[in-house]
Amino acid sequence: MARTSKHLRNRGGRRFKILLAFALAAAILVVIAATIAVDVARRIPDGVLRAYFIDVGQGDASVILWNGGCVVIDAGTEASAERLSIYLRKLGVSEIDCAVFTHPHSDHIGGGDDILADFTVKSVVMPDCVVDGESYSELLYYIEKEGCPTYMATPGDEYSFGDVTMTVLGPYTEYDNENDMSAVVKVTYGDIDIIYAGDAEARAEYDIIEFWGDDVLDVEVLKVGHHGSYTSTTEEFLAVTTPELAIISCGRQNEYGHPHSKTLANLDKAGASVYRTDEDGTVIIETDGVNVWRCVMGFLGRLYRVDNKG
């Protein structure tokens, strides 16, 4: 009996050691996988710029990342603020060279206070447009609290961040319509240009066309104005911008009916490939300064180029 119980004890001990070894191996694997995931998400190869059009529901939030720099254009809604901060952290963002708040509507600046509180924001660009609203007061409070140098969006102003240049295209003048007061910016990397149109509508688009002309406005990628509303993305604006890729940021089954069928028809006629955050989720494009690819995120956050628009 004594022998049997010793034998059983020995078997129990061995089983425990085997289980322990399995548990340790599993823990090591989890740590390795997590490290790789973080590395993949953070590593942007030299000579590459990535533009993320983040799914924040009915709102706008974009981030532009390259090795050594980060620009954020709009910060989504209050409801998506926490999600946006988590997403930026997953991308490895800790410092933001410039945060552009295109105009003071809550679907663009709702997460602005979180961005300013959670990250080191080196500069802010926004239009001279004052509104009553909690999101706007919170934004101003945090700009002051964090001491962020803040610049008024003035057409012709150029901001350089290493190999990346941001040119302010609008607002060209003062408008009563707060959407038309949107800071419209062009981001340039090598031969590739991306216009972020905020919520600028037809009148602002016409002024931008008149002020800048075809050469400056000819771009490869257009972040479509005002969530694809029929009041923006005129045929005239598309005739000068001629984007190959157009991205619309809007919420699933949103109450405004964005994007409008007229906008989609205009984009189709202009020959642009359209991606929408309500259907495609976060849209990611990558460029080497010559070609543009749409990317999808695969295993462990690795990006795969799926659509060459070079």
Q: Which of residues 91-110 bind Zn ion (CB under 5 A)?
A: 107
Candidates 6-14, 46-54, 195-203, 250-258: pick the segment binding Zn ion (CB under 5 A): 195-203
Phi, psi (rounded to 5 degrees) for 217: -90, -10
Candidates 35-43, 112-120, 152-160, 199-207: pick the segment binding Zn ion (CB under 5 A): 199-207
Nearest to 77 by CA among 201, 241, 254, 229: 254
Phi, psi (rounded to 5 degrees) for 140: -60, -40
Phi, psi (rounded to 5 degrees) for 66: -150, 170
Tokens of 79: 């409801």
**Shortest distance (Å) from residue 69 CB to Zn ion:** 26
Candidates 6-14, 121-129, 142-150, 193-201: pick the segment binding Zn ion (CB under 5 A): 193-201
End-to-end CA distance of the chain: 80
**Contact call for residue 201 and Zn ion (CB under 5 A):** no
Task: Output 73 or 295, the one with its CB closest to Zn ion.
Answer: 73
**Contact call for residue 199 and Zn ion (CB under 5 A):** yes
Residue 171, Cβ density class (10 Å: 0-12 exposed, 13-18 middle, ≥19 buried): buried
Candidates 27-35, 169-177, 194-202, 241-249: pick the segment binding Zn ion (CB under 5 A): 194-202
**Shortest distance (Å) from residue 242 CB to Zn ion:** 24
Task: Output 118 or 199, the one with its CB closest to Zn ion.
Answer: 199
Phi, psi (rounded to 5 degrees) for 120: -85, 110
Strands 221-223 and 245-248: parallel
**Shortest distance (Å) from residue 58 CB to Zn ion:** 8
Task: Output 102 or 287, the one with its CB closest to Zn ion.
Answer: 102
**Shortest distance (Å) from residue 105 CB to Zn ion:** 5
Task: Output 107 or 201, the one with its CB closest to Zn ion.
Answer: 107
**Shortest distance (Å) from residue 197 CB to Zn ion:** 11
Asked if residues 101 and 130 have their Cβ atoms less than 8 Å apart, the reply is no
Task: Output 72 or 295, the one with its CB closest to Zn ion.
Answer: 72
DSSP class per residue in 131-168: ---HHHHHHHHHHHHHT--EEE--TT-EEEETTEEEEE
Distances (CA, A) of 113 to 48, 79, 117, 224, 231: 29, 12, 6, 24, 29
Tokens of 287: 């460029």
**Contact call for residue 180 and Zn ion (CB under 5 A):** no
**Shortest distance (Å) from residue 218 CB to Zn ion:** 25
Task: Output 259 or 292, the one with its CB closest to Zn ion.
Answer: 259
Candidates 40-48, 92-100, 168-176, 191-199: pick the segment binding Zn ion (CB under 5 A): 191-199
Task: Output 107 or 193, the one with its CB closest to Zn ion.
Answer: 107
- The gap from C-alpha 19 to its chain's centroid, in whole angstroms, comes to 45
**Shortest distance (Å) from residue 182 CB to Zn ion:** 9
| Residues engaged in binding Zn ion (CB under 5 A) | 107, 199
